[in-house]
Amino acid sequence: MIKRSYKNNIFLNYIYEFLLNRNFVQALWPTYLVFRGMSLIEVGVCESVFHLTSLFFETPTGAIADVFGRRFSRIIGLLLKVVSIVMLLFTHTFFMAIIAFIVSALSYNMESGSDTAFVYDSLLENNEEKKFTKVQGYREVVLQVAGLVGVAIGGILADIKYEYAYGIEIAVLAISLIFLLLMKEVKGRKIIQKERFSKKIADQYKISFTVIKNNKILLVYIFTLQFFSASITASFFYLTNYWQSLGYSLSIISLFLVIESLAGIIAGIIVSKVMAKLGKFKLLLYMPMLICLGLICLPFMPLSVIALSIMSFCESILYVAMTKYINDFIESEYRATILSFSSMVFSVIMIIVFPIVGLLGESFGLKTGFLILALFTVIVYLVYLFFLMKGKNKIKEIDEKI
């Protein structure tokens, strides 16, 4: 039996996150809903409902993790995820699908922010916080390998029968709970348990938003990651339907997604070296630029597969860079809340982007939808570039202090 200790937390977390994120249905749910008779617009609405739910519950669930513990929050999130998958498996109506996505969003909220805060605070307990960037890189490799395994096996299972992919997904999630229970709980260091919960939540909001308001560079990081992540995510989910419309089977589509996962794995392996070589300013300059180029090439086969891989690589680098920045500058008891705020920004953007791409795809074809998204992303990048260049010296100053 593995003894519960902060040292074992990191190792157990690698196993848990592999099982949690080895998602056999992650890339398949849009095609599954279409298979169930829903339109691309309804698919877009489902994803928007997911992010609308996240918008309202992301920061409160982050506060729950800060108040009651990261592991506690993650356990609730895992149980909710199983419930959402069971609901989606048996869904026959658009309304039932909406409810499943609401539960799925709550599951995501309970894990989001808590996972990274759990890892960082576990390292703090062992005085190993300097290893955080390396650990984040390894976590990214684990997530990408899990995704690779998930899409490869999930595509094959779904080609046989969709229900097989969903059934095995539930079984693996049940196994992952064992590893989560073996971890030792961590909490913020200044939490006063006697306060009323409502007051704790209010304080988390107040102080967390004050931190963000007073740290403009932090806002730059959050905006950068979440806007481009939203564009990539919207493209990723609709790509399965787009490639199917071009005549590719789910097994072949899974192979394309395996290539994309390999790019993310490479990014996770070399991220610490890339960050050391480029520094924060160049990362914020070049990674979003490459994502824009990838979005432009996305609708054109075979460039589509290469473009998605480049976007995955850049997103992985940006994710590790941003989480390191937040953990370097935010105190432990507010860390999960700030990370949850970051995810909330992502949700706001997805609420707008996802249904619009679906509407464009339903009306003019997904190829046109992708091109319009790429054009809009380039415009946003040019505006973002103006503010990035304006704050260039400030970013470099902070970079040198770390």
DSSP string, 102-160: HHHHHHHHHHTTHHHHHHHHHHHHTT-GGGHHHHHHHHHHHHHHHHHHHHHHHHHHHHH
* Whole-number Å distance between alpha carbons of 251 and 361: 23
Q: Catalogue all structural domains in the chain, each as residue range(s) with its CATH number.
A: 7-184+198-401 (1.20.1250.20)
pLDDT at 366: 87
The per-residue pLDDT for range 270-306, each reduced to its tens digit, is 877 887 787 777 887 888 899 999 999 999 988 899 9
Residue 1 has pLDDT above 50, yes or no: no
What is the reported pLDDT for 67?
Answer: 72
**Which of the residue ranges 58-67, 159-168, 373-382 would you say has the lowest mean pLDDT?**
58-67
pLDDT given at position 26:
66
pLDDT digit string, tens, across residues 347-361: 788 888 888 888 888
pLDDT of amino acid 326: 67
What percentage of the chain carries pLDDT values higher than 90? 5
Note the pLDDT of residue 189: 44
Which pLDDT belongs to residue 306? Answer: 92
Mean pLDDT, residues 191-212: 58
- Give me the chain's average pLDDT, please: 78
Tell me which residue of 99, 37, 33 sits closest to 240, measured CA to CA. Answer: 33
- Tell me the pLDDT tens digit for each residue of 166-176: 788 888 888 98
Angle 256-134-173 from CA coordinates, rounded to 5°: 55
Higher pLDDT, 60 or 178: 178
Q: Is the pLDDT of residue 36 over 90?
A: no
Question: Across residues 245-272, what is the average pLDDT?
Answer: 81
Confidence of residue 59 (pLDDT cuts 50, 70, 90): low
pLDDT value of residue 397: 61
Calculate Rg over the CA atoms of the chain.
Answer: 20
Identify the band that residue 96 occupies on the pLDDT scale cut at 50, 70 and 90: confident
User: Does the pLDDT at position 362 exceed 80?
Assistant: yes
* Bigger pLDDT: 136 vs 13: 13
Quick one: pLDDT at residue 86? 86
**Given this model, what pLDDT does residue 293 score?**
93
Peptide bond into 302 cis (omega under 30): yes
